[in-house]
Homo-oligomer: A and B are copies of this chain.
């Protein structure tokens, strides 16, 4: 694993820890000011900018605090040299009841990353569940 992959894995691990700790400040600490997130719910063209990104989290963190799960089961990072990188991941995400009923269901996550002043930041997130039809 190269240094860029290591640094990005630490960034993602810190973000996941902040989510599990319901720590909004930690959740947004590694994100760029111009983050573009394609989230599960609308808006159709994404949440754009760190303020819009931050505003999506409090209801989700409350949902997690009520007992819902957000666990990464597979994270793959693609980086090495240059100032851009990406990562993708599969997560178990849902209420315990839904995860029990649909154990194979996954939240799919893709991250776009940019190095700024020597530090990797998340500049793009895409979260989705599969859909039929």
Specify which chain B residues have a CB less than 8 angstroms from the CB of A80 in the assembled complex: 82-84
Instruction: State A36–B132 Cα separation when bound (angstroms).
Output: 19
Chain B CB within 8 A of A81 CB:
yes
Number of A residues near B (Cβ < 8 Å) is 40
Instruction: State A133–B95 Cα separation when bound (angstroms).
Output: 12
A130 (CB) vs chain B CBs: closest residue:
B42
Chain B CB within 8 A of A70 CB:
no
Indicate which residue in B42, B46, B78, B79 contacts A123 across the interface (CB closer than 8 Å): B78
Indicate which residue in B41, B76, B106 contacts A131 across the interface (CB closer than 8 Å): B41
- 5 inter-chain pairs at a CB distance below 8 angstroms, sorted by A residue, are A44-B105, A45-B90, A79-B82, A80-B82, A81-B83
